[in-house]
Amino acid sequence: MAEIKCPMCGKPNPDDLDACQFCEARLKPVTDELSRSQPPIHVGDEPTKKDTAELEPVLPKWLREVRQQARESVEEQDEEQEQQEPVGAGDQHEDLLAGLQSDIEEDEIVPDWLSNLHGGEPSEIQDAIEISEDRLRAISGDAESSNSDMGTGDRLPGWASHPDAAQETREGGETLGDWLAREVGKEKAQEAGEKAPEESRAGFGLRGDAETDLSFQGESVDESAQFEGEIPSWLRVDENDATSEGGIGTKPLEEPAYREAPEDVQVGESAQDEPVDAMPDWLSSLGEETDGHQAGGDETVAGNGQAVKDDQGPPGAESELSFGASRPESSDEDEIPAWLAQMGEEEHQDEAVHSASEAGPEERIPRPAVQPEADEGWQDLSEVKPFALEQDVVPNEAADGSALLGEEDGAGPGEDVDALFSIEMPDWLSAVEQSAGPQASPEPEADSEVIRPAELPSWVQAMRPVEAFVSGEGAGGERSDTEQKGPLAGLSGVLPLVPGVGPSSKPKTYSIKLQASEDQLASAEQLEQLLEAESYPRPAIPRPGLPAQRWLRMTIFALLLIVVGFFLFAGTSVMYIPLSVTAGTAQALNIVREELLPDAAVLMVFDYQAAFAPELEASAAPLVDHMMLLKHPRLTLLASKPSATGLSERFMHNTQPGQSYVNLGYLPGDAAGALAFVENPRSAKPAIVDGQSQWETPALQGVTLVSDFAAIFLLTDEADTARIWIEQLHNRRGATRLVLISSSQAGPLLVPYMESGQIDGLVVGLEGGAPIEKVNSNRPGTVRRYWDAYGFGLIITITMIVAGSFWNLFSGWQANRKKTGEK
């Protein structure tokens, strides 16, 4: 079986385990199956419905965690792991929101919480729309004209250069509709065109027919504010930020990068100004992170990574903090991954996208997909912190736009353009550029001139973060998420995971809460606490006293002990030992008394375990003693179980002290050993002691085959092992007599062999040994010693079974009667 090394403790585990058997850490990514089952989405693909409503409930949790992790990351900036945690969270964040959105699209039901969000952030949603619109313009329609704008880092695209663009879109939902009808129509002209007017108001309608949104969309932001108390804190915070910053709230709606540069710059600042509580958790945490950055310098605005570097270390470390998994080491270009280095170059070149798309992702993970760049782009995107995205919107946009164009230029129109588009959606590229910018070497900017208008794919499809993230995850497997159980609980970035998918243990409950009416929302917090309490183990309260069953067992034990102990210690001889014997016992006795010749070679096979030693010693001792007294046979011992070697010695020591015998020892191999011995005993068991074969001793002289033994006594406690010997000896033992001395439990199953003539004698248990011992002048006396205790023990046993059975029968009947009466 294959093994998996636990990422936590490093110990090997069977690959079928999900959690480490040593430390209970998760061995397989939760998303493993998901990423495999969901192939990457390529630009232009037909949208597929995806129900991500289950992800909703996770939001509050991870947001809190992100916040916490961000704090930790600020405190422990030199630890790479913790720097990655916010990245995973950021991914989760985007992913989750995308999931929410797609949920709305598919179900056409807008939960209250979503309406609230919508109402609270209409402008933000529209920001995203507007951004997209602008972007689309830049890419397609306006591509020719915006080529130069986007080509340089300083020059922002037209949409990005208007700080008020977001405000405009807030107010003018109609614009969006127009835009949709115009742009999306290229791919899904009819559908998008029809829905556009409505969706333009809804914001969310970008991707679906959120009819219900419309009603809420009509409400003002002020109206939405009245639900603030009912909205989860993270939504409220979002709203605040959105109002003040004009667009932060849209980040979760998967288009955070496409925002205006001034706003993005302000985001970082506002994160410090605003009280943490007033922000979404993830934002606030990021804000703290920003604080950390700013403490080191004032470069937060310009480059998140750089700022931190100023404070504590080389610039590379700073950029790591902000980009987590990307971890560009900007100090030394040689150490920078190719894709990152190129990104850095892009920062300084307006058309840096060209190099980024060419060399970056592809080099890292070559993929045979039609649009490998798109997948890689998403994968890298998944590693980017949300905060980084926001901070670098301006350069991002510039870079993204140019990247798109540059890619188109390099790879040609069509699918490659789509792939580029998907790459540039997140602004991690620009974020990297920001951090790596100072060290990045300039690149030729010639590509920017080759930019041609892109033929727009169904970018809406391509921008769906959830699916894209999933696909990217499957390809790269570099994602991380927070561990939920085991010693890793609370740690992020330990194992690859698609953000937002893993911690969905209570989706239904959250969903119910969030979709509930206003009244129910009021108690959401309490419900959440209740649910959380459910997941915590409660200390078991020990029951007072012992359960009835244990009392019953103890009573049985005590009764047996008293009865058996009394007769054993008293040494009475009350019970009569009858001389009537079973046919098997009679035949065994007859063999010993009549058939065996004096001084005959007799083999005793010990085939029982130590637990049965008392019974088998008591049962076999009289017959063996009788044989030894009458015939003085040459005894040879053989053990077919390892511990039976010692048991054979024990048997002889206890019952036949002073007798000479040959102990061949242990014969391994079960059936194979038995067959080998039966066919060629000397070869199977050479039994060499001190250089001398036991077969050369007087006891075994003349014995070369198993049939040379006059009799074989098999002492067994198991019908199965006895069966092996009976089967192998069948037709091979010639005239050799086979006598079985078995425990009471194996005896019944051996009776058919007795009837078929495959064995010549059968002594079963104390009952079989008792008459032989009596015949043998009560030698060695073990059965006699046990006999009274055995008899009275049986009496008390039968009594208990009968009484208990009747009692249980009666009580059961009474209980049934009571039930029937109740019915």
Cβ proximity to other proteins: between 378 and 677 the closer is: 677
What are residue 661's phi and psi, to 5 degrees?
-160, 170
Which positions ≥6 away from 811 have C-beta within 8 Å?
A: none
Applying CB under 8 A, which of residues 188, 515, 749, 778 lies at the interface with other proteins? 749
Applying CB under 8 A, which of residues 174, 220, 671, 696 lies at the interface with other proteins? 671
CA-angle at 529, arms to 528 and 530, nearest 5°: 90
Cβ proximity to other proteins: between 229 and 734 the closer is: 734
Q: Is 34 in the site for other proteins (CB under 8 A)?
A: no
The answer to whether the beta carbons of residues 686 and 664 sit under 8 Å apart is no
Applying CB under 8 A, which of residues 217, 266, 284, 645 lies at the interface with other proteins? 645
What are residue 664's phi and psi, to 5 degrees?
-75, -20
The answer to whether the beta carbons of residues 753 and 761 sit under 8 Å apart is no
Q: Is 757 in the site for other proteins (CB under 8 A)?
A: yes
Stretch that binds other proteins, among 141-149, 162-170, 496-504, 637-645 (CB under 8 A): 637-645
Cβ proximity to other proteins: between 412 and 614 the closer is: 614
Which positions ≥6 away from 817 have C-beta within 8 Å?
A: none
Question: Which residues make beta-bridge pairs with 805?
Answer: none
Applying CB under 8 A, which of residues 485, 679, 704, 818 lies at the interface with other proteins? 679
Q: How far apart are CA 479 and CA 446, in angstroms?
A: 35
Amino acid symbol at 104: I
Q: Which of residues 396-455 bind other proteins (CB under 8 A)?
A: none
Q: How far apart are CA 269 and CA 357, in angstroms?
A: 31
CA-angle at 638, arms to 634 and 643, nearest 5°: 135
Stretch that binds other proteins, among 199-207, 261-269, 476-484, 745-753 (CB under 8 A): 745-753
Q: Is 649 in the site for other proteins (CB under 8 A)?
A: yes
Applying CB under 8 A, which of residues 667, 711, 714, 722 lies at the interface with other proteins? 667
Shortest distance (Å) from residue 610 CB to other proteins: 4
Shortest distance (Å) from residue 1 CB to other proteins: 8
Q: Which of residues 213-252 bind other proteins (CB under 8 A)?
A: none
**Per-residue x/- track, 565-594, other proteins (CB under 8 A):** x--xx----xxxxx-x--------------
Strand 3-5 versus strand 761-764 pairing type: unpaired
Applying CB under 8 A, which of residues 529, 660, 777, 805 lies at the interface with other proteins? 805
Question: Which residues make beta-bridge pairs with 712?
Answer: 603, 738
The answer to whether the beta carbons of residues 25 and 14 sit under 8 Å apart is no
Stretch that binds other proteins, among 116-124, 182-190, 464-472, 670-678 (CB under 8 A): 670-678
Q: Which of residues 512-571 bind other proteins (CB under 8 A)?
A: 546, 549-550, 552-554, 556-557, 560-561, 564-565, 568-569
**Per-residue x/- track, 145-164, other proteins (CB under 8 A):** --------------------
Angstrom CA distances, 9 to 26, 93, 490, stand at 11, 29, 16
Q: Is 688 in the site for other proteins (CB under 8 A)?
A: yes
CA-angle at 280, arms to 175 and 159, nearest 5°: 30
Amino acid symbol at 382: S
Applying CB under 8 A, which of residues 258, 459, 469, 612 lies at the interface with other proteins? 612
Burial 211-248 (b: 16+ CB within 10 A, else e): bbbbebbebeeeebbebeebbbbbbbbbbbbbbebbbb
Strand 688-689 versus strand 692-693 pairing type: antiparallel
Q: How far apart are CA 379 and CA 30, in angstroms?
A: 17
Q: Which of residues 772-801 bind other proteins (CB under 8 A)?
A: 785-787, 789-791, 793-795, 797-798, 800-801
Amino acid symbol at 530: L
Q: Is 670 in the site for other proteins (CB under 8 A)?
A: yes
Q: Which of residues 689-708 bind other proteins (CB under 8 A)?
A: 689
Q: Is 665 in the site for other proteins (CB under 8 A)?
A: yes
Stretch that binds other proteins, among 54-62, 97-105, 142-150, 642-650 (CB under 8 A): 642-650
Applying CB under 8 A, which of residues 215, 233, 331, 643 lies at the interface with other proteins? 643
Q: Is 650 in the site for other proteins (CB under 8 A)?
A: yes
Angstrom CA distances, 203 to 48, 387, 551, stand at 20, 23, 70
Shortest distance (Å) from residue 280 CB to other proteins: 42
Q: Is 651 in the site for other proteins (CB under 8 A)?
A: no
Q: Which of residues 8-27 bind other proteins (CB under 8 A)?
A: 11-12, 22
Q: Is 647 in the site for other proteins (CB under 8 A)?
A: yes
C-alpha dihedral sign at 224, 225, 228, 230: negative
The answer to whether the beta carbons of residues 84 and 501 sit under 8 Å apart is no
Provide the 3-class DSSP secondary structure of residue 582: coil
Q: Is 615 in the site for other proteins (CB under 8 A)?
A: yes
Stretch that binds other proteins, among 235-243, 354-362, 585-593, 603-611 (CB under 8 A): 603-611
Q: Is 752 in the site for other proteins (CB under 8 A)?
A: yes
Q: How far apart are CA 13 and CA 33, in angstroms?
A: 19
Q: How far apart are CA 336 and CA 315, in angstroms?
A: 12
Cβ proximity to other proteins: between 522 and 583 the closer is: 583
- If one counts every other C-beta atom within 10 angstroms of the C-beta of residue 442, the result is 10
Q: Which of residues 459-478 bind other proteins (CB under 8 A)?
A: none
Q: Tell me the longest C-alpha to C-alpha distance in the chain.
A: 121
Cβ proximity to other proteins: between 348 and 634 the closer is: 634
Q: Is 761 in the site for other proteins (CB under 8 A)?
A: no
Q: How far is CA 734 from the centre of its chain?
A: 61
Which positions ≥6 away from 541 have C-beta within 8 Å?
A: none
Q: Is 646 in the site for other proteins (CB under 8 A)?
A: yes
Q: How many residues bind other proteins (CB under 8 A)?
A: 113
Cβ proximity to other proteins: between 709 and 787 the closer is: 787
